[in-house]
Structure 1
Amino acid sequence: MKLLINIVRWVARFLGIFLFLFFVWFAIEIGSPDLDMMSNQEVKLFIGNLIMLMGLIVVWKFEFIGCVLLIGGYIFFSLVNYSFWIGPIFPIFMIIGILHLFCWLADVFRIAKKISFSTRLFLK
């Protein structure tokens, strides 16, 4: 089970690396946006995208906080864009967030099971 969790975690991390590099490549190619020239909806979409990109970075150190940023950023992005399925690229943020949430929950349950088991041995 631990091997499966590690495989899923590293698949999600590699997807995140490639997605982050994809957005960095576009940012270098296009340049930084001028927030004064953007409409309110475009600014909100930019903020949602920034939240998701920060989630890709944070998830390496703090898995739960990063997956909350990824999932929450995608939901915010979807609500502002009035569509849940936004092209082929943006749903990958949600998939990565769900994979990391699965890994975090599996680790929490594994640790809780270990603590419960050792507590029973200690009390005997």
Structure 2
Amino acid sequence: MTHLHITSWVLALILLALALWFYRSGKEKPGKISHMILRLNYFLILYSGGDLFAQYMGNASGAVLGEVIVKAIAGVWIIFAMEMVLVRTSKDKPTKSAWIQLIIMLLIAIILGFGRLPMGLA
């Protein structure tokens, strides 16, 4: 399930870049299509992340329990931040705060997922 989760996140980042490129170049329809595909990909991310969360909860010791919860919150926050970036970009509104949130939460999730938690690339 770890590989599915990582693959879905990589696909989400590619779709985010693609939708941003379409929106910024004035191509509304392809931007909306790639945005909708990204929204469908969120379900795959949430499913695989929820399964990993359940695996951690099933055999987690007290030492990693807090980190697992923080990583889960950061992962959901990343999805919200990606949506904020795309919606604000499509409406020509400032996106600086959404980008800051996205980058900080992405760093937290990557550091915890690959550096601290035991099922990084199992």
TM range (shorter): 0.3 to 0.5
**Structure with more helix by fraction:** 2
Normalized against structure 1, the TM-score is what?
0.40
Task: Give the alignment's TM-score, normalised by structure 2.
Answer: 0.40
